């Protein structure tokens, strides 16, 4: 009997080849926010009706979330940037392990599943390249709402004791303003019996987007965007047709493409209050910006150094720390960057150093001395924002920069190279057998 060898897994060497030194001009369109769309998709589990979400970005994370919801029994229908999520028949309360492993945001299912079904079993999301990513606050809050929660063999099992199977309102104080914990507990509380108060809640725009969706579904959420959110539980939530906010992190990345190439670009839609700290830093760097309706026009000739420290919203967003460091690597003068949100989100420093950046790293602090020109080199993005930072650095470098780590990039940016090439960049996506 001959055993046919199993076909070898075809490893592909996917990469972007970025040609540096080109000026950009034109308009960059901003997609819907990944970090809002993912949690809004999970909210469909709270209702037996169909939830229609518009302006959903075409990202691999969104596809993965759709697969996880479908595995739970949700009918998922995608039409361009519109997704219909019919949660009438939830067939199980435990998303498959192999799917959950591919997407941390799948943990967003635990709150709505518990609220809807009275039970949920979701693998721990685990850490990633940027940090341990604990869910302690999520679990503590669910217990305050009356759930029994155990964590065994890497799986979080939650259930609501008693006949009603319904969570009860409670007073939750978060030890840290965790975005994911705030959103998880808002969804759990939406169907709970009574009033829930979340103190020290995250203030991010994506939290406000979720509150608006829950209210559009018949929920009673107030105070989103302030440190204290009050949710009065309702028996059921109904259908809604809702558009996701623009992606402030993608918008910031596009603004940086103009700044790092010393070009003028129009970026939109941009909601200025979502980018307050970012626009302040670009202004400090010497960029000129004019808001034209929902678009922001930016131009840059010379970039001055500036310091930045990542903080919870409305402070400077950690998701733009790496992309901004690429800009600072080419600025006039010395900058200090402090990463206070994640314990391991400075891995892009080594990659920028390969391109000739002058950076000294001490713990969570990087001291960057701007250089006249970066030099193109083979580099790798270690998380989705670091991958974007490498593309930006490549736009400004002499020669060609080869960027690997596209599996991260494609999670947060839809066709980044296509969008940048349309405004004058020269980026090729190559993929051949490794
Ligand atoms: C969300 O992650 C975003 N992801 C992240 O974007 C973003 O960087 C982060 O918020 C901060 O703004 C999504 O929305 C899908 P956190 P989340 O809970 O909810 C600590 C990207 O690039 N913490 O606010 O996981 C935690 O360790 C991604 O798009 C606890 O200590 O972030 C971290 O240091 C990356 N205990 C800090 O809080 C907890 O129980 C912020 O985490 C929970 C969190």
Same CATH topology for 9-31+246-433 and 34-243: the answer is yes
How much distance in Å is there from the Cα of 319 to the middle of ligand 1?
10
Task: Specify the 3-state DSSP secondary structure of 312.
Answer: coil
Phi, psi of 274, rounded to the nearest 5 degrees: -80, -15
> Rounded to an integer, what distance in angstroms lies between the CA atom of residue 342 and that of residue 340?
6
Do residues 85 and 242 lie in contact, with contact meaning Cβ atoms separated by under 8 Å? no
Q: What share of the chain is helix, strand, coil (3-state, %, to 5)?
A: 35, 30, 40
> What residues of the chain score a pLDDT lower than 70?
1-9
DSSP per-residue string spanning 19-42:
E-S---EEEEE--B-HHHHHHHHH
> Rounded to an integer, what distance in angstroms lies between the CA atom of residue 342 and that of residue 312?
11
Which helix (H) or strand (E) covers residue 150, if one does?
strand 148-152
Catalytic residue IDs = 128
Nearest CA to ligand 1 atom 27: 133
Ligand 1, pocket residues at CB < 6 Å: 35, 38, 105, 131, 133-138, 176, 178-181, 202, 318-319, 341-342, 384-385, 412
> Rounded to an integer, what distance in angstroms lies between the CA atom of residue 299 and that of residue 303?
11
> Rounded to an integer, what distance in angstroms lies between the CA atom of residue 114 and that of residue 394?
46
Residue 313 is predicted with a pLDDT of: 98
Q: Which of 146, 139, 168 is nearest to 231 (CA)?
A: 168
Closest ligand 1 atom number to CA of residue 412: 29
Half-sphere exposure of residue 253: CA atoms within 13 angstroms, side-chain side: 32
Instruction: For the chain, state the CA radius of gyration.
Output: 22
The pair of structure tokens assigned to 158 is: 């939650």
- pTM metric for this prediction: 0.96
The pair of structure tokens assigned to 380 is: 């790798």
Task: From residue 115, give the alpha-carbon distance in Å to each of 29, 140, 201, 239, 250.
Answer: 37, 15, 20, 17, 32
Please report, for the chain, the start and end positions of each structural domain, with discontinuous segments joined by +.
9-31+246-433, 34-243
Q: Give 230-276 as a 3 state SS string.
A: EEECCCCECCEEEECCECHHHHHHHHHHHHHCCCEEEEECCCHHHCH
Task: Specify the 3-state DSSP secondary structure of 420.
Answer: helix
> Rounded to an integer, what distance in angstroms lies between the CA atom of residue 99 and that of residue 276?
36
Residue 432 is predicted with a pLDDT of: 85
> Rounded to an integer, what distance in angstroms lies between the CA atom of residue 34 and that of residue 272?
18
Residue 158 is predicted with a pLDDT of: 97
Closest ligand 1 atom number to CA of residue 140: 40
Beta strands 119-123; 148-152: pairing state: unpaired
Q: Which of 99, 72, 101 is nearest to 87 (CA)?
A: 72
Residue 190 is predicted with a pLDDT of: 98
How much distance in Å is there from the Cα of 190 to the middle of ligand 1?
22
Nearest CA to ligand 1 atom 30: 134
Residue 1 is predicted with a pLDDT of: 46
CATH number for region 9-31+246-433: 3.65.10.10
Q: Which of 176, 312, 410 to mutate to test the pocket of ligand 1 (most atoms within 8 A of CB)?
A: 176
Nearest CA to ligand 1 atom 42: 178
Residue 128 is predicted with a pLDDT of: 80
Q: Judge: domain 34-243, CATH 3.10.20.30.
A: no
């Amino acid at each position: 009997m001959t055993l046919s060898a199993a076909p070898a897994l075809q490893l592909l060497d996917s990469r972007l080849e970025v040609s540096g030194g080109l000026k950009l001009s034109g308009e960059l369109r901003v997609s819907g926010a990944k970090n809002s769309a993912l949690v809004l998709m999970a909210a469909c589990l709270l209702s037996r009706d169909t939830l229609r979400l518009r302006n959903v970005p075409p990202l691999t994370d969104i596809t993965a979330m759709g697969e996880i919801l479908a595995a739970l029994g949700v009918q998922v229908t995608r039409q361009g940037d519109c997704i219909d999520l019919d949660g009438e028949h939830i067939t199980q309360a435990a998303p498959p392990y192999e799917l959950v492993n591919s997407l941390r945001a799948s943990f967003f299912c635990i709150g709505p599943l518990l609220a809807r079904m009275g039970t949920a079993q979701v693998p721990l999301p685990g850490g990633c390249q940027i940090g341990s990513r604990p869910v302690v606050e999520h679990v503590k809050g669910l217990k305050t709402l009356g759930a029994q929660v155990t964590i065994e063999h890497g799986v979080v099992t939650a259930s609501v004791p008693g006949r009603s199977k319904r969570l009860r309102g409670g007073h939750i104080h978060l030890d840290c303003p965790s975005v994911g914990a705030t959103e998880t507990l808002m969804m759990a509380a939406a169907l709970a019996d009574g009033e829930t108060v979340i103190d020290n809640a995250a203030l991010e725009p994506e939290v406000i987007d979720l509150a608006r969706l829950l209210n559009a579904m018949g929920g009673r959420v107030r105070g989103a965007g302030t440190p204290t959110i009050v949710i009065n539980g309702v028996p059921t939530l109904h259908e809604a047709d809702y558009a996701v906010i623009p992606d402030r992190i993608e918008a910031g990345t596009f603004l940086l493409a103009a700044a790092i190439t010393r070009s003028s670009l129009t970026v939109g839609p941009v909601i200025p209050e979502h980018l307050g700290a970012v626009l302040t830093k670009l202004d400090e760097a010497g960029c000129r910006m004019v808001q034209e309706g929902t678009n922001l026009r930016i131009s840059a000739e010379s970039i001055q150094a500036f310091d930045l420290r990542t903080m919870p919203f409305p402070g400077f967003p950690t998701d733009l720390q790496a992309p901004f460091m690429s800009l600072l690597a080419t600025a006039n003068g010395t900058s200090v960057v402090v990463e206070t949100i994640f314990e391991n989100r400075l891995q892009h420093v080594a990659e920028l150093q390969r391109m000739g950046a002058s950076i000294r790293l001490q713990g969570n602090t990087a001291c960057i001395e701007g250089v006249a020109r970066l030099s193109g080199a083979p580099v790798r993005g270690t998380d989705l924002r670091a991958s974007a930072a490498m593309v930006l650095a490549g736009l400004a470098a002499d020669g060609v920069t080869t960027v690997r780590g596209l599996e991260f990039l494609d999670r947060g940016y839809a066709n980044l190279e296509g969008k940048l090439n349309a405004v004058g960049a020269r980026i090729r996506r190559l993929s051949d057998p490794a």
